[in-house]
Copies of this chain bind each other. A is one copy, B any other.
Amino acid sequence: MKIVPVSVTSQIVKILRHSVLTCELRPGDRLVESKLCENFEVSRPSLREALACLASEGLLIHRPNRGYQVAEITLEGFQNRCELRVVVEGANARIAAERATPQQVEALYAAAIVEAEDAKTLIEQNRQFHLEIAKATGNPELVEITRRVLDTDNQPYFYGVDLHACTTAKAITAEHRTIVDAVSANDGKLAEKRMVQHIREKEARIVAAWNHAS
């Protein structure tokens, strides 16, 4: 394990990012600098650096003189992000199928499994799988973009909008497996198609629940 110094700012970024993803901080919530400084016991400059990072990632939005708040979720925005996911992750699957090493395929099968009691862990497992696919492309740029997209796209779960996911964990695992199967068979076209469908189906479920809720 390599020893690396860890800056205060980077730790805050991690914690806050996690808070947003798990909806501990919910869309629209304001982030009052003084409060956060107290909580984390850090200085305001350090905190603001972290906030600037997160805003740059799109997780927070910044309105001059009105500070930072968690980015609001809109149906339109959600669908736009899904489109982006389809584009990027579809390509991830295709490229992974073309390049993944046997070890990576092995890792993918392991990561495909989504099973947990609590929603939080479920989300995290799902997220890890999608990241693992990205890693299998061997292209760090794709990994980074994928991470970004996933980070701004998991919130709907916590809206209680996709609670069915808990009951369908097995189904999702199965879907993941079929994707990996295609990757394992070096069938790029098929892997892409399945990944796209996987994302589109989830989108449809959430959109339906969303409309139902409002």
Contact = CB atoms under 8 A, between A and B. Distances in A.
Interface in A34-51: 45, 48-50
A64 to B, nearest CB: 4
A31 interface: no
A133 to B, nearest CB: 14
A186 interface: no
One complex includes copies of this chain to the number of 2
A30 B83 CA distance: 38
Contacts of A64: 4-7
Contacts of A77: 141
Contacts of A7: 64
Contacts of A144: 58
Given A9-B52, A80-B142, 10 more contacts: A4-B64, A5-B64, A7-B64, A49-B49, A49-B52, A50-B52, A53-B53, A53-B55, A80-B141, A145-B145
